[in-house]
């Protein structure tokens, strides 16, 4: 006599892996240019602490704040461009009379 194979229903695994859908968020051109303008203005901000005529200490406050904003930004697509705009604005504004001067 042959044994009958009884098939037991397979249990479905409760640990399903759900794939996250790739969401592409597009940034409009006007938003991109607004961000570049903000990073340009922010990168040009300096604080000069000086004691006439002895010494002067320049501190690039705008560059530091701009780097913080660029690293914690929602749209991180063009982060390298934002870094480049910040650095160029910082170097150009170093020789221009832009920023806050504190005399001690």
| Residue-range domain boundaries for the chain | 44-103
Maximum alpha-carbon separation in the chain: 111
**Mean pLDDT per segment of 10 residues, for the chain of length 104 residues?**
67 58 72 91 93 88 93 77 93 88 86
Q: Give the pLDDT score at 43.
A: 93
Cα angle 91-93-95, degrees, rounded to a multiple of 5:
90
Beta carbons of 99 and 45 less than 8 angstroms apart: yes
Cα angle 48-59-52, degrees, rounded to a multiple of 5:
25
């Amino acid at each position: 006599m042959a044994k009958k194979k009884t098939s037991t229903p397979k249990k479905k695994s409760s640990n399903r892996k759900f794939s996250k859908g790739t969401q592409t968020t597009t940034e409009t051109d006007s938003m991109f240019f607004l961000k570049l303008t903000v990073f340009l203005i922010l990168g040009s901000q300096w604080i000069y602490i000086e004691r006439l005529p002895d010494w002067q200490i320049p501190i690039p406050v705008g560059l530091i704040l701009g780097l913080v904003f660029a690293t914690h930004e929602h749209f991180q697509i063009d982060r390298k461009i934002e870094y480049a705009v910040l650095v160029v604005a910082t170097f150009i504004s170093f020789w221009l009379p832009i920023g806050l001067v504190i005399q001690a």
